[in-house]
Structure 1
Amino acid sequence: MNALSDLLCAELDDAITRAGGDREVRVLVLTGTGKAFCAGADLKGVFEGGAVPAGEEDPLNAFLDKVAGVIDRLRNLPKPTIAALNGLTMAGGLELAMACDLIVAAQSARIGDAHANFGVFPGAGGAAVLPRRIGPTAAKYLLFTGDTLPASELVPLGLVNRVVPDASLDAEVDQLASRIASKSPLVLRRMKQAVDDGLAQSQSTALRLERLVLDAHRHSRDIREGLAAFVEKRKPEFKGY
């Protein structure tokens, strides 16, 4: 079920690092195989019940910190990211998906928080990010009930961008990623940063920050290339600077 284990967290962290440092990688797509995108954190290997001896680190806390750290790394990656939900997406899996910029889901995918089902408090965005994505009332419903909903029900709430037939998921996401990858990497990085930073500011402050970014961006090679391509009626060749 692609649960977030120590090994999977390490592999995800490595993939995010490599994608972030590779100029040829312009869009990162995260998906799963089998029946689930990600069923959440794999707590079986770290939770054995019983008290932790005084002075010793709680392995459960250490593991949850590791999961949250990887999800934060994904959220802060300065490149567009797409979560392609091939199936069940729960708890840490939902937090992982929400760390991506866009979410495309297969028609059969079901999505929920599910932490409450096991008496676990979310630690990577379930309580902090989900209300910002779908509003507090809908977020509380998912948090309090632990229910999973069809992906199609979360499109109107703004959590999922598109729902596509299961057999078409890979092709649809690949087409979307290719369209985004054809844009200027520099302008995409700056757009992502402006949107994410602006959400924490008043509209007037966000507008000032937007203008400051524009003042810097107008000196870039990519904006000159884009405008030249428009005038010359050709496809631009963006370099990312």
Structure 2
Amino acid sequence: MSVPELETLLVADREQVRWITLNRPDRLNAISPAMLDELESVLTASADDPSVRVLVITGAGRAFCAGADLSPGPGDPDALPDVDLARSDAVFELLERQPQPVVAAVNGMACAGGLELLLCCDVVLAAAGVPIGDMHANAGLLPGAGGTYRLPRRVGLNPAMWLLLTGRTAPAEDFLRWGLVHRVVAAGELTAAAEELAKLLSGKSPLGLRRMKELVRDGLAQDRRTGLAHALAVAQAHQKSADYAEGVRAFAARRTPRFTGR
């Protein structure tokens, strides 16, 4: 992977799955400017790497991500933290538009910017009981990386308003009921569950999954007529791909398809 040496992330490739671990456990994996730079580098390198078919994001230690690092600058305890909201928003938008499926394996607390990061992932697995919430209201802050836009669309208006206005967290089980979390497992089973899901996704057509993600994202911003017409046009174009032919032939022959992403 053509990215510089990393200080805030651990990156490991296992078969066709790239595991990205937020690695500031002493700060509960709080997001620093360096972490944003490194995450951007990893996402950009992964997007154009045909050997990477799935991304899994998790956290080191006892937290997934506690949001932006609000610690004061060195030498001045009264200095405000270096939080570039526009930068966070751009990197999270890059994550949301990642061509490969992105799985979040929530091993511990995910709040504020950590929740905003989850909202940009495609599938969310969580350890039982982990607290998830917005929490910006507790410090008089506003979500700056898309939380107020994405949260109501993922969990519904009423849960979103409760989470945003109260600043409280809720256990992963509540987010399972609201639809953001797709599966809750015992803490000791989280890695295995993420591996199982990533293996399943990596066996699908990379081209097909990429186009599905694009159609869903685009469709959310389109009216019904435009969205349906666009979906039809992309599906018709997909019929000319090698992956389409391989999938149909494998189905007819009752064998496992060997997709190439073309």
Do the two structures share a fold, i.e. TM-score over 0.5?
yes
Match of 1:108 in 2: 129
Match of 1:124 in 2: 145
Could you tell me how far apart the structure 2 residues matched to 1:60 and 1:167 are?
A: 36
1:32: Cα distance to partner? 0.3
4+ residue segments displaced more than 3 Å: 45-51
Could you tell me how far apart the structure 2 residues matched to 1:81 and 1:175 are?
A: 14
Could you tell me how far apart the structure 1 residues matched to 2:259 and 2:251 are?
A: 13
Contact 2:72–2:78 (CA under 8 A) maintained in structure 1: no
State how 1:2-151 maps to structure 2 within 5 Å.
2-45=29-72, 60=82, 63-151=84-172
Match of 2:234 in 1: 213
Contact 2:72–2:79 (CA under 8 A) maintained in structure 1: no
Name the amino acid aligned to 2:162.
Y
1:202: Cα distance to partner? 2.3
Contact 2:129–2:173 (CA under 8 A) maintained in structure 1: no
Contact 2:130–2:172 (CA under 8 A) maintained in structure 1: yes
Identical-residue share of aligned pairs (%): 46
State how 1:166-181 maps to structure 2 within 5 Å.
166-181=187-202
1:230 is matched with which residue: 238, 242, 251?
251
Taking CA–CA contacts closer than 8 Å with sequence separation of 6 or more, which of the two structures ends up with the larger relative contact order? 1
1:45: Cα distance to partner? 4.3
TM-score, normalised to structure 2, is 0.85
Q: Per-residue CA shift, 1:6-39, capped at 9, x if unaligned?
A: 1211221121112112100001110001111000
State how 1:179-190 maps to structure 2 within 5 Å.
179-190=200-211
1:43: Cα distance to partner? 2.2
Could you tell me how far apart the structure 2 residues matched to 1:16 and 1:228 are?
A: 33
Stretches of structure 1 lacking an aligned partner (at least 5 in a row): 52-58
Contact 1:110–1:150 (CA under 8 A) maintained in structure 2: yes
Q: How many residues align?
A: 233
1:239: Cα distance to partner? 0.5
Name the amino acid aligned to 1:227.
V
Aligned partner of residue 104 in structure 1, secondary structure: strand
Could you tell me how far apart the structure 2 residues matched to 1:218 and 1:49 are?
A: 60
1:65: Cα distance to partner? 1.9
Contact 1:38–1:93 (CA under 8 A) maintained in structure 2: yes
TM-score, normalised to structure 1, is 0.92
Q: Per-residue CA shift, 1:16-74, capped at 9, x if unaligned?
A: 112112100001110001111000000224597579xxxxxxx846x222222211110
- The CA RMSD over aligned residues, in Å, is 1.6
Alpha carbons of structure 1 residues 144 and 218: separation in structure 2 relative to 1, 3 Å: same
Aligned partner of residue 156 in structure 1, secondary structure: helix
Quick check: which one's strand share is greater?
A: 2
Contact 1:82–1:103 (CA under 8 A) maintained in structure 2: yes
Could you tell me how far apart the structure 2 residues matched to 1:50 and 1:235 are?
A: 59
